[in-house]
Amino acid sequence: MATFFGEVVTALSRAGVDEEEAEREETPEDLEIRRELEKKRCRRRWGRDLLTLVLPTGCNAVAFLSSFILDSVRWEVVGAVSLWNEWCRTLDATNVLPTDSFCLFYRLISDPTVLLCQCNCHVAEDQQFQWLEKVFGYIQKKDLQVIILSTCPVTNYKTPESTLTLPSPFLKALKTKEFKDTICCPLLEQPNIVQDLPAAVLSYCQVWQIPAVLYQCYTDVIKLDTVTIETFKPVLSSKIMASLVKDVPESTEMLKKLLATNEIHNNIYT
Amino acid sequence: MFVPCGTAARRDFKGFTLLMPSVSVGNVGQLVIDLVISTLDMPKVGYFYTDCLVPMVGNNPYATAEENSTELSINAEVYSLPSKKLVVLQIRSPFIKNKYRSFCQTVLSWVKSSKCARVILLSSSHAYQRDDQQLHGTPLRYLLSPTIQKTVGDQMQKLNWKEMEKVAAYPEINNAEKVLHIPGGGITKLLFTERILLSMSFSFVLKKKNWVEHQPAYSHFKKTTNCSKEIPMAVLLKFCSEGDNIPDALALVNYLNEWLQLIKNEQSSSTTTTASHWKIPSSWRLLFGSGLPPALF
């Protein structure tokens, strides 16, 4: 299992079903993982008495929060998590965040009990548990509430009709038992499930009885996309987010800037 | 670790039978567990929170109405029915690489601390790996640990069940030495053969000394160890292949029911076959994906 924060362990970073395998020696890939992990650290400057944690995962959710919630006046950077896995090798060098850290933590200056974690990288299955321990381990669970934003390919959505006929993007929600606030979209029906970091966070919240809600946007666009980002807009009317929203003109400008930056760097002619 | 939930949370399952699946070919064990929970309407009593399984969440997979469809489920949960002294662990996702041994240790520790009387592991094995003898007759097999053999061995004889055959450790070289071989069975063999050592946290000894079941050192260890510390375990498995494994799950759950009598088998008046009424969970919809685009045709 690959971890971060400088913890060196003998591990692989892929999930899979194990058959009757014997213990094996480290491959060159394992050695590379170990080397890269040794370089990574965690910096943290938030207190234990947190009441609200907002966690966007993936580029569209991160861009949504950057446009409609975050700014340099009201929010300050209070922590960072850098991690490494095989996916990091293939990530685009362009990053909308100002540093090379992949998970940045922002705190609302006027209300230090509100924390926002921008997670714009892939956290591998065997890193998720440790990520949770590092982030939630220092937060008191009493009175905490969590909101997670995420995207997922619409082809992963199971429906009796073909996914080609679905009007995507669309929003679905999952909530823990303790979450009693109104949800701004329909709940995700069985047999659909959620995986990756949003699932790990929601599982943690369900087990330890923390009110939490996940808003998952099913989209047919993988990259940064205005339509996908704006699908999250109903979330701004929720009780948690309503007090954090920026001015609409400012948000629209920020969104245009983010998309333009992304387009320039994705243009094969520049 | 086991984290109880619900109003009547309990950590103690003294004298209960634990049913659990192995994540194996066709996911047959997990499908059987779904059938048992759904049919007996077993309430959830806790979560098995672990870093050994790939995280996943979804709404209640056994929902029967709008009201009970919104409860969140995670990748490993515990259900219980005290009236039948039954506790069930359901596993819903694969193991994270190299964490299966750790999971086995955690489960067996929990079984010991919760004082379960016995464990029944539901599993499957690759049909294509059967030998000539196994190709004939029933595809269902059982295994019993020595402790449980004393109590239910006779019952298995009466039921005319077939014990899982051992295979040659070194085929063509030495056919005398036989070992248990459950290809595609996931953690089945590990849990069954190492239930003593794992439960006593001797797995590090096993690794260091490279002991295997047929070696004298292992046998000596078993003889000198107090066998009453062994967790009574039975394995029920079916030979199958990947595909639509619902029929395999129904066959295995009926096999289990022959022994445990969880539900009554009703004799159909029109035929001579026995019909069992297992409730298919609502989450078994769309097992093979969404609907097809009309334009395809």
- Note the Cα A250 to chain centre separation in Å: 23
Helix (H, G, I), strand (E, B) or coil at A49: coil
Using the Cβ of A162 and the Cβ atoms of chain B, whether some distance falls under 8 Å is answered with: yes
For chain B, give the percent of residues with pLDDT over 90.
Answer: 58
pLDDT band at B186 (very low <50, low <70, confident <90, very high): very high
For A238-249, what is the mean pLDDT? Answer: 80
**Looking at the predicted structure, is the pLDDT value of residue A62 above 50?**
yes
Give me the pLDDT at residue A18, please.
44
Distance CA B211, CA B220 (A): 11
Name the residue facing B95 among A17, A193, A199 (closest C-beta).
A17
Does the distance separating the beta carbons of B70 and A175 come in below 8 Å?
Answer: yes
**Tokens coding A143:** 């009175």
**Tokens coding A209:** 């009885």
Smallest CA–CA distance, residue B271 to chain A, in Å, is 35
pLDDT band at A45 (very low <50, low <70, confident <90, very high): low
Cβ atoms of A78 and A108 within 8 Å: the answer is no
CB contacts of B290 in chain A (<8 Å) are 157-163
> How do the domains of chain B map onto residue ranges?
15-201+230-259
In the A/B pair of chains, how many CB contacts fall below 8 A?
139
DSSP assigned state of B294? G
Does the distance separating the beta carbons of A189 and B186 come in below 8 Å?
Answer: no
Does the distance separating the beta carbons of B97 and A16 come in below 8 Å?
Answer: yes
Distance CA A112, CA B81 (A): 46
Within 13 Å, how many C-alpha atoms sit on residue A128's CB side? 26
CB contacts of A192 in chain B (<8 Å) are 58
Distance CA B195, CA B232 (A): 9
Using the Cβ of A188 and the Cβ atoms of chain B, whether some distance falls under 8 Å is answered with: yes
**Cis? peptide before A191, omega within 30° of 0:** yes
pLDDT digits (tens, 9 = 90+) for B151-174: 888 888 899 999 999 888 777 777
Tell me how many degrees the CA angle A34-A35-A38 measures, rounded to the nearest 5. 85
Does the distance separating the beta carbons of B47 and A174 come in below 8 Å?
Answer: no
Helix (H) or strand (E) holding A127: helix A125-136
B66 against A85, higher pLDDT: B66
Does the distance separating the beta carbons of A12 and B58 come in below 8 Å?
Answer: no
Cβ atoms of B234 and B143 within 8 Å: the answer is yes
Q: How many residues does chain A have?
A: 270
Residue carrying the six token digits 């998970």? A103
Using the Cβ of A182 and the Cβ atoms of chain B, whether some distance falls under 8 Å is answered with: no
DSSP assigned state of B265? P
Hey, which residues 13-72 in chain A have their CB within 8 Å of chain B? 13-20, 23
Residue carrying the six token digits 């069930």? B88
Sheet holding A193-195, edge to edge: A193-195, B56-59, B72-73
Residue A229 CB contacts under 8 Å (≥ 6 apart), including other chains? A60, A63, A64, A67, A255
How far CA A215 is from CA of A21, A211, A218, B75, in Å, comes to 39, 14, 10, 19
**Tokens coding A60:** 């569209």
A160 against B294, higher pLDDT: A160
For A177-183, what is the mean pLDDT? Answer: 92
pLDDT digits (tens, 9 = 90+) for A2-20: 444 555 544 443 433 444 4
CB contacts of B291 in chain A (<8 Å) are 159-162
pLDDT digits (tens, 9 = 90+) for A66-103: 888 888 888 988 888 777 666 554 444 444 444 444 68
Cβ atoms of B114 and B11 within 8 Å: the answer is yes
Q: Nearest residue of A to residue B99 by CA position?
A: A1
Does the distance separating the beta carbons of A175 and B72 come in below 8 Å?
Answer: yes
Does the distance separating the beta carbons of A207 and B3 come in below 8 Å?
Answer: yes
How far CA A228 is from CA of A54, A173, A218, B98, in Å, comes to 19, 15, 8, 37
Residue ranges of E strands in A64-211: 75-81, 103-108, 114-119, 145-153, 170-175, 193-195
CB contacts of B293 in chain A (<8 Å) are 162, 164-165
pLDDT digits (tens, 9 = 90+) for A113-141: 899 988 877 788 888 888 888 888 877 78
Hey, which residues 72-131 in chain A have their CB within 8 Å of chain B? 125-126, 128-130
What stretches of chain B show up as alpha helix (H) in DSSP? 28-40, 100-113, 146-159, 188-193, 195-199, 203-209, 216-224, 246-260
Q: Is A246 exposed, middle or buried (0-12, 13-18, 19+ CB in 10 A)?
A: middle
Closest CA to B293 of A159, A168, A173: A159
Smallest CA–CA distance, residue B133 to chain A, in Å, is 23
Give me the pLDDT at residue B214, please.
53
Using the Cβ of A203 and the Cβ atoms of chain B, whether some distance falls under 8 Å is answered with: yes
Q: Which domains are seen in chain A, by residue range?
A: 44-263 (3.40.50.10900)
Does the distance separating the beta carbons of A194 and B282 come in below 8 Å?
Answer: no
Give me the pLDDT at residue B55, please.
96
pLDDT band at A32 (very low <50, low <70, confident <90, very high): low
Q: Which of B53, B68, B97, B285 to mutate to test the interface with A (most CBs of A within 10 A)?
A: B97
What are the DSSP calls for A211-228, one per residue?
-EEEEEEEES--S--HHH
Give me the pLDDT at residue A225, please.
87
Average pLDDT, chain B: 85
Lowest mean pLDDT among A91-100, A199-208, B207-216: A91-100
pLDDT band at A43 (very low <50, low <70, confident <90, very high): low
Name the residue facing B58 among A18, A125, A192 (closest C-beta).
A192
Q: Nearest residue of A to residue B102 by CA position?
A: A1
pLDDT band at B14 (very low <50, low <70, confident <90, very high): very high
**Looking at the predicted structure, is the pLDDT value of residue B228 above 80?**
no
Distance CA B216, CA A209 (A): 50
CATH class of B15-201+230-259: alpha beta
DSSP assigned state of B95? B
pLDDT digits (tens, 9 = 90+) for B91-110: 999 999 889 999 998 999 99
Query: What are the backbone angles phi and psi of residue A122, rounded to the nearest 5°?
Result: -85, 125
Give me the pLDDT at residue B212, please.
58
Name the residue facing A20 among B23, B70, B189 (closest C-beta).
B189
For chain A, give the percent of residues with pLDDT over 90.
Answer: 30
Closest CA to B6 of A177, A222, A250: A177
Hey, which residues 248-267 in chain A have their CB within 8 Å of chain B? none
Using the Cβ of A185 and the Cβ atoms of chain B, whether some distance falls under 8 Å is answered with: no
